[in-house]
Structure 1
Amino acid sequence: MSDTQYSIDLDSIRGAFPPGVEVLSLLVDFAGWLEGRPWGSVGCFSLQGQFSDSAPIVDGSPLRDRFSLFMRLPDGSAVGGWYGAGLDRDNPPIVGLGSEGDYALLAPSLDGLLAKLTSRQFDNPWSDLKPHDEVECQTVELAQWLAGRPAAETAAPDDTSAELPDFRGFVEKWSRDREDYWANHRLMAELGWRLAAHLPKGKKPWDRTRFEIAIVGAQYQARVLTHGPQPFEEAASIESLLRDLRDQMRRAQPELGLWYAMNFGLYADGRIMPSFEYDLRPTIDGDLALLSEAKADLARAPRPERWVPKWLG
């Protein structure tokens, strides 16, 4: 394991910061210090940016400009800055989005997070932020590096956390609100009605029938996931409804642009809970979606430069 080095992707980290907010210089410097060191020597993570779309949070796409997620843990949890209302956009608190539904304010700042790494102050479910047992620990070296930085912050990592908003409460309220939003959404109700023939046979709350949708310009494909993606009879009749939904969402949050893929579950009570892909280039009829059609969508619904995926740039 000691032969494995930390995975670092600064380009993806820069892209994960909200438009108009630049990557923290301390984070860039920390990445430089970490480069080449054995994975697990100061914690079990990779430095890799991601959007809230793919983070473990309900309906994360609308929250893109609220987070700068720069760290991934082996279990899929994400760590990064939180730009909540009234918080410092130049030095945001650092939060964790846990893969098992654990949401925590980890430190009041990036300085505080790195200080906690040196003192190994993480319990379950965040114990992956502690060094790995089978790797030589380098937290002392990290502490020395931090102490040698100009105007280094040496305050206790949790000294201001009491003044910060309740992050867990924010996420729990967001989750409830989004579930209510989609449960009462007119287009989702109509979609559930049109797909009533596909209601799951089971009646447990988690039973669902899964669907995949792709819309790229004039291209369209809908599949039901039963023994692999399959065409279904109602696909053509729901296209206009899905295109209306896509345009409605663009008007509500123009900077996100138009989504290219949608996944949703149809539950036994007729509820639909969707998720959306804004950066994935979907496959339609066995081939990647046409680049010309995707660019037409981008021209119709421009995005901030850092939110344009590389395949579309």
Structure 2
Amino acid sequence: MSDTPYPIDLDSIRGAFPPGIEAPPLLLDFAGWLNGRPWGSVGCFSLQGQFSDQAPIFDGSPLRDRFALFMRLPDGSAVGGWYGAGLDRDDPPIVGLGSEGDYELLAPSLDALLSKLTSQQFDKAWHDLLPDDEVECHTVALAEWLAGRPVAEKPAPEEASSEVPDFRGFVEKWSRDREDFWANHRMMAELGWRLAAHLPKGKNAWDKTRFEVAIVGTQYQARVLTRGPQPFEEAASIESLLRELREEMWRAQRELGLWSAMSFGLYADGRVMPNFDYNTRPTIDGEPALLAEAKADLARAPRPERWVPKWLT
């Protein structure tokens, strides 16, 4: 493991920041300092950007402009800036979205997060931010590098506040609200009714039947995940409903564009809980979705440049 350098993807990091906000020089400089060092020497992570769509938070797509997730942990957790209402957009607090439901404000700023890496001040839930015991530790070198950087002068806020933002409360409320939103959504109710033949046979509240959908331009495919993706009888009859949903979501948040893939779980009580993918080029009938169809979607529903996936440029 000591011969493996840190994975670093500056393009994805820059693209993960909300439109109009650039990746801070400190983060880019840290990536340069980290480049080539052995993975695990200051923590077990990769410096790679991702959107809230893929982060461990329910229905995260609408939150793209509230996060800049620049660090990934081996268990699927994500770390990055939180651009919540009323927070400093020039130097936001750094939060962790844990794969096991741990949502925590890790540091009040990026500089403070890097300082915590040097002092190894992370609890058990965030142990991947600690150095790997089997790799030579570079936290002292990181501390020396940070100490040698010029101190940027920041204007004093008009009103100083010692109140710590309640990040866990924000995520929990978001999840509850979105679950209620979809549980009471007209189209989800109709989708559950149309797919009633596929209700899970289990008795547990968490039992569900999983489906995958791809829509790119005029192309469409829906599969039920039963011993792998399988066609199902009702697929054609729900296409118009899913296309209507896609259009409705675009009208509600136009900067996201049109999603290309959707997965959802059908629960025993008929609830449908969806997840949407705006970035992946889906496979339809065994082949990647046609680029011309995807570009037609993009022309009709344009996005900020940094939110256009590479395969579509």
TM-score where L is the length of structure 2: 0.96
Find the counterpart in structure 2 of residue 83 from structure 1. 83
Find the counterpart in structure 2 of residue 173 from structure 1. 173
Secondary structure of the 1:187 match is helix
Letter in 2 for 1:193: W
TM superposition shift of 1:210: 0.7
Find the counterpart in structure 2 of residue 110 from structure 1. 110
CA RMSD of aligned residues (A): 1.2
CA contact (8 A) 1:4 1:39 kept: yes
Find the counterpart in structure 1 of residue 138 from structure 2. 138
How far apart, CA to CA, are the structure 1 residues paired with 2:181 and 2:195? 20
CA contact (8 A) 1:146 1:152 kept: no
How far apart, CA to CA, are the structure 1 residues paired with 2:78 and 2:42? 17
Letter in 1 for 2:225: L
How far apart, CA to CA, are the structure 2 residues paired with 1:107 and 1:17? 18
How far apart, CA to CA, are the structure 2 residues paired with 1:73 and 1:177? 27
Segments of structure 2 that go 5 or more residues without pairing to the other structure are 154-159
Letter in 1 for 2:257: G
TM superposition shift of 1:164: 2.9
How far apart, CA to CA, are the structure 2 residues paired with 1:75 and 1:228? 24
How far apart, CA to CA, are the structure 1 residues paired with 2:110 and 2:269? 44
How far apart, CA to CA, are the structure 1 residues paired with 2:234 and 2:191? 10
Find the counterpart in structure 2 of residue 28 from structure 1. 28
Secondary structure of the 1:52 match is coil
- Which deviations, in whole Å up to 9, do the C-alpha atoms of 1:190-247 show, x marking residues without a partner? 0000000110111211111111111111111111111111111111111110000000
Find the counterpart in structure 2 of residue 243 from structure 1. 243
Aligned length: 307
Q: Please list, as runs of the form range in 1=range in 2, the aligned pairs for 1:150-189 lying within 5 A after superposition.
A: 150-151=150-151, 162-189=162-189
TM superposition shift of 1:165: 1.4
Secondary structure of the 1:294 match is helix
Find the counterpart in structure 1 of residue 157 from structure 2. none
Find the counterpart in structure 2 of residue 309 from structure 1. 309
How far apart, CA to CA, are the structure 2 residues paired with 1:287 and 1:2? 39
TM superposition shift of 1:152: 6.0
CA contact (8 A) 1:108 1:161 kept: no
CA contact (8 A) 1:14 1:23 kept: yes
Secondary structure of the 2:47 match is strand
Secondary structure of the 1:32 match is helix
Find the counterpart in structure 2 of residue 226 from structure 1. 226
TM superposition shift of 1:258: 0.2
Letter in 2 for 1:182: W
- Which deviations, in whole Å up to 9, do the C-alpha atoms of 1:35-94 show, x marking residues without a partner? 111111111111000000000000000000000000011111100000000111111100
Q: Please list, as runs of the form range in 1=range in 2, the aligned pairs for 1:206-225 lying within 5 A after superposition.
A: 206-225=206-225
Secondary structure of the 1:170 match is helix
Find the counterpart in structure 1 of residue 7 from structure 2. 7
Letter in 2 for 1:190: E
Secondary structure of the 2:258 match is coil
- Which deviations, in whole Å up to 9, do the C-alpha atoms of 1:138-161 show, x marking residues without a partner? 1111111101101169xxxxxx99
How far apart, CA to CA, are the structure 2 residues paired with 1:285 and 1:212? 13
Find the counterpart in structure 2 of residue 156 from structure 1. none
Q: Please list, as runs of the form range in 1=range in 2, the aligned pairs for 1:193-208 lying within 5 A after superposition.
A: 193-208=193-208
How far apart, CA to CA, are the structure 1 residues paired with 2:110 and 2:218? 44
How far apart, CA to CA, are the structure 1 residues paired with 2:216 and 2:142? 47
How far apart, CA to CA, are the structure 2 residues paired with 1:226 and 1:83? 39
- Which deviations, in whole Å up to 9, do the C-alpha atoms of 1:124-148 show, x marking residues without a partner? 1011111111111111111111011
How far apart, CA to CA, are the structure 1 residues paired with 2:44 and 2:225? 35
Letter in 1 for 2:308: V
Which consecutive segments of 4 or more residues in structure 1 shift more than 3 A? none
Segments of structure 1 that go 5 or more residues without pairing to the other structure are 154-159
Determine what percentage of the aligned residue pairs are the same residue.
Answer: 83
CA contact (8 A) 1:107 1:161 kept: no
Find the counterpart in structure 1 of residue 72 from structure 2. 72
Secondary structure of the 1:28 match is helix
